[in-house]
Amino acid sequence: VQLQASGGGLVQAGDSLRLSCKVSGFTLDDHVVGWWRQAPGKEREAVSRIFIRGGSTYYADPVKGRFTVSVDPTENTVYLQMNSLTSEDTAVYYCASIEDDGDEDDPDEYDFWGQGTLVTVSS
């Protein structure tokens, strides 16, 4: 089982990035895939998540209206489109999966984590 996050990079404030989380080893049907981030000196925080079965989504307040999470079931890949980036979005972004009957608010409940991809936004 593997989650591989990619798509990070160095961008300027106002730019966009799309992160990808490629899942292998299991199908996503009955899972939730969450995006988390950790900025230097700060605790890990939830950014967004998507319930693959049903398609419901969640966004943290700081990213509402700017980020969009989506899934391509044919590719077993979850995306995070990030627009209007600010320096506050600078962090390592991780994707993680949990079965959809678990507690998706608790990072310790997630079964598998990707390796993280660094997003740096210069102001």
Give the mean model confidence (pLDDT) for residues 79-103.
97
pLDDT tens sequence across 26-84: 888 899 999 999 999 999 999 999 999 999 999 999 999 999 999 999 999 999 999 99
Q: What is the 3-state secondary structure (H, E, C) of the chain?
A: CEEEEECCEEEECCCCEEEEEEEECCCCCCEEEEEEEECCCCCCEEEEEEECCCCCEEECHHHCCCEEEEEECCCCEEEEEECCCCHHHCEEEEEEEEECCCCCCCHHHCCEECCCEEEEEEC
Q: Which two tokens stand for residue 64?
A: 């509402």
Tell me if 52 sits within 8 A of 97, measured CB to CB: no
Please report the pLDDT score of residue 27 as a whole number: 86
